[in-house]
Amino acid sequence: MDRNTIIGFSLIFLILVGYYWWASPSPEALALEQRKQDSLAKIEAKKQKDVSAQQLSAKEKSDSSVNKTQAKDSSELKNKFGGFAPNFGGSDSFISISNKSVTATFSKKGGRLMEVKLNGYKRADSSALILLEKQGHDFHYEVALKGAVLNTSDFDWQVSQKTDNKVSFTLSNGKGGYLEQTYSLGNQNFVLDYKFKAHNLAADVVNTDFKLVWNALLHKQEKEMQFESQYSTIVYKTSDEHPEFLSERSPEKTDKIPGKTFWVSFKQQYFNASLINKDGFTSGESRFEWKETNVPNKVKDMRAELYLPYKGEDQKEWNLAFYLGPNSYKTLENANVGLPNHELQRIVPLGWGIFGWVNRWLVIPVFNFLLGKIGSMGVLILLLTLIIKFLLLPLVYRSYISTAKMRILKPEIDEIKSKHGDDMQKIQVENLALYKKAGVNPMSGCVPMLLQMPILFAMFQFFPVLFELRQESFLWSKDLSAYDSILDLGFNIPFYGSHVSLFTLLMTISTLIYTHLNNQISGITGQMKWIGYIMPVIFLGVLNSYPSGLTWYYFVSNMVTFGQQFAIRRLVDDAKLHSQIAEARKKPVKKSNFSKRLEEVMKAQQQKSKQTGKKPGPPNKRK
C-alpha cells in the first residue's frame, strides 16, 4: 500500500463524511416536517371521534336484538360444549401472585398466565421489566369434545384456591368432571410450578391429545434492537443430545418435531420464558415458529404448538414448570424444574465446537470464581484477562523466540531470494536447507498464535451474551452490555455508525501500535507490512456497536501483551540467539524421511523443468 493509495482512501472517507453531513436535514426542514405531522395527527383524531360516535349509535340499535338471540345462542353452546357451556364467555379478571423474583398475573378467562414481571430488573429505558405482556400473549389448550373443540381461553374459570404465591383455576362440566390449572411460586428464583389436571372427563372428551398453544409478542428490553433481535429466537430440547436453536438470521423460521419435546424457550438477548414438561410433550407433531414484526418496540412474534398425551383416563395430571428469568449460565444450570439434565444453560449461545468448549471449561469457571469476590465488573474483566494471558504466556514466549530467530535469518533469506529471482523451486529448497541447518522451524511462530485464536473468538461469543454485564457501569461506560458512546455524531457513517465508542477506539489504537511493534520484531517489509494494519481498522467499524465489556477486554488484552513482550525482550538476549543458531549450524543435519522425500520431489521437478525448458513451480506434495 503506497502513499497515493493511503491518500486516496483518506479522501474517499472525507467525501463520505461530508456527503452525509450535507445530506442531513436542516433544523428548518425538521421543524416543517414536525408541523406536518401535528396537522395529520389532528385530522386523525377528528376521524377517530366521528367513528366512535357512529359505533355508539350502532351499538344502541343492536342492543334491542341481543335478547332475542341469546336463547338461540345458549342452545347452540349447549350442543357444542355440553356442561361447559354456562362458563362460555366472560371478561378478563386479573389475579397476581409473587415472590422476590417474579410477579405473575393470570386471567380468570382461560385460567391462563397473562403477564410476567421480573422484580428487581429494569428495561434499558428504566421502566419495569415485563417479560411477557398481556397484549400479544396467549396461552391456551384446545380440547376435542364430542360436539366441538373447546378453547380454554374462551371460558370463565373459577378461582378454587388463592394465596400470596399460589392460585388454582377450575372449569367444571356440571357433572362432577373438571379441568384444573394450578400455579405456584416457591422460594426458588424464577421458577413457576404449573400443574394441569383432567378429572372425570372421559364421557365428554374425545380420546385424543390436548393441544397446547403458546404465543408471545416479545417486547424490546435492551438498548439496541439490532442485537436483541439477533439473539432472540426459539430454543427447544428433544431426546437428542443438546437443545436446538431456530436460526435467528432469516425473516421467519419454523420447525416441526415429530418426537418427544421436553422444553421450549422463547429467548431474548438476556432473558427467556421457558415451558418445561419433565415427562415430555409427545404424540402430536410439535411446531415452533417465530416471525419478524413491524410493531414498534416489539422484537419477534413467537409461537409454540405442543401436545399433552391423553387417552381417556379418569384422572390425568401433567406436571410442568415455567422458567421466567435471566439468561445467566449459572442460574439456568442450577434451576430445579423437575427435569434431570435439562440443559437449560445451553440457551446461552457460547459458540460452536472448540469456541464453546473454551467458554464452558475455561472462561466460565474462571469468571464464576471471580464473580463472588470482585465487586466491580470492569475490574473482574481485568483480572479475567490477566489470568488468561498468564496461561497463554508460554505460547507468547515461544512465538516471540521463533519470530526473533526468523528476524536474525532474514538477511540470508533475502539474499537467497535475490540470488534466484522468481525461481520459487530453488528458493524453497535453499530456504528449507537454511532452516534445517540453523535449527529453526518457520511454523513454530505460527502454531502458538493459532492456539490463541480459539480464546480470541470465544471471547467474541462470550461477552455479548454475558448476563452479568447487563446495566453494570465502569469508568465512562454506563452499561458494559452495550456500547460506550462518548460522542453522538448526529449522522450515520456507513460501516461505523452514528456514535464514537471510546473503548473500541482505544482497542484499535493499541492494536495498531502492537502491529507496528510486531513488524519491527519480525523485520517484515513490503506490502505484507501494511496488511496487518487493515484488520484493526475493520474491527473499528465492526465492534463500534458491540458491548463495551468486549472491547474493554480486547484493550486490556493488548496492554498485557505489550507488558509481556517488553518483559520477554528484556529477558531474551539476541546475541545468545545468534550463538545458538551458530552452534546449530555446526551440527550435522539429520533429515527426516519426509524431508528426504520432499527434496527428491523437488529435484525431480527441477530436472523435468530443465528437460521441458519451463521454470519449475511449487512442488506437488501429493503423489
Instruction: Report whether pLDDT(387) > 90.
Output: yes
The C-alpha atoms of residue 307 and residue 445 are separated, in whole angstroms, by 57
**Is 155:110 a contact under the CB 8 Å cutoff?**
yes
Helices 424-438 and 393-420 pack at an angle, to 10 degrees, of 130
The domain made up of 89-349 has a fold known as Beta-galactosidase; Chain A, domain 5 (2.70.98)
**Is 484:502 a contact under the CB 8 Å cutoff?**
yes
Mean pLDDT value across the chain:
81
pLDDT per residue as tens digits for the range 10-45: 444 444 444 334 444 444 444 444 554 455 455 555
**Is 145:82 a contact under the CB 8 Å cutoff?**
yes
pTM over 0.95: no
**Is 538:511 a contact under the CB 8 Å cutoff?**
no
The C-alpha atoms of residue 429 and residue 4 are separated, in whole angstroms, by 37
Which residues of the chain form CATH 2.70.98.90?
89-349
Region 528-554 average pLDDT: 86
* Weakest mean pLDDT among 49-53, 281-285, 599-603: 49-53
The C-alpha atoms of residue 292 and residue 287 are separated, in whole angstroms, by 17
pLDDT per residue as tens digits for the range 481-514: 999 999 999 888 988 889 999 999 999 999 888 8
Cell of 188: 426458588
pLDDT-based confidence at 609, cuts 50/70/90?
A: low
pLDDT at 525: 61
pLDDT per residue as tens digits for the range 228-254: 998 999 999 998 778 888 887 766 788
- Count helices and strands (H / E) in the chain: 16, 21
Tally of CB atoms within 10 A around 120: 9
DSSP secondary structure letters along 368-398? HHHHTT-S-HHHHHHHHHHHHHHHTHHHHHH
Conformation bin of residue 535: beta by default, left when phi > 0, alpha when psi is -120 to 50: alpha
Residue 196 forms beta bridges with which residues? 181, 318
The C-alpha atoms of residue 50 and residue 187 are separated, in whole angstroms, by 53
pLDDT-based confidence at 617, cuts 50/70/90?
A: low
- Higher-scoring residue by pLDDT: 167, 537: 167
Q: What share of the chain has pLDDT > 90, as a percent?
A: 44
The C-alpha atoms of residue 112 and residue 155 are separated, in whole angstroms, by 11
Instruction: Report whether pLDDT(564) > 90.
Output: no
The C-alpha atoms of residue 564 and residue 407 are separated, in whole angstroms, by 19
Tell me phi and psi for residue 82, to 5 degrees.
55, -130
CA angle 110, 116, 120 (to 5 degrees): 160
Region 306-319 average pLDDT: 92
**Is 455:359 a contact under the CB 8 Å cutoff?**
no
The C-alpha atoms of residue 319 and residue 61 are separated, in whole angstroms, by 49
Instruction: Report whether pLDDT(586) > 80.
Output: no
Query: DSSP strand E in 268-327: where?
Result: 271-281, 286-292, 298-308, 315-326
- Higher-scoring residue by pLDDT: 429, 453: 453
- Higher-scoring residue by pLDDT: 237, 622: 237
pLDDT at 561: 87
Region 168-189 average pLDDT: 92
pLDDT at 63: 46
pLDDT per residue as tens digits for the range 370-379: 998 888 999 9
Region 421-437 average pLDDT: 71
Burial 197-227 (b: 16+ CB within 10 A, else e): bbbebeebbeeebbbbbbbbbbbbbbbbeeb
Instruction: Report whether pLDDT(346) > 90.
Output: yes
pLDDT per residue as tens digits for the range 106-138: 999 999 999 999 999 999 999 999 999 999 999
Q: What is the DSSP-derived secondary structure letter of residue 351?
A: -
pLDDT at 70: 47
pLDDT at 352: 84
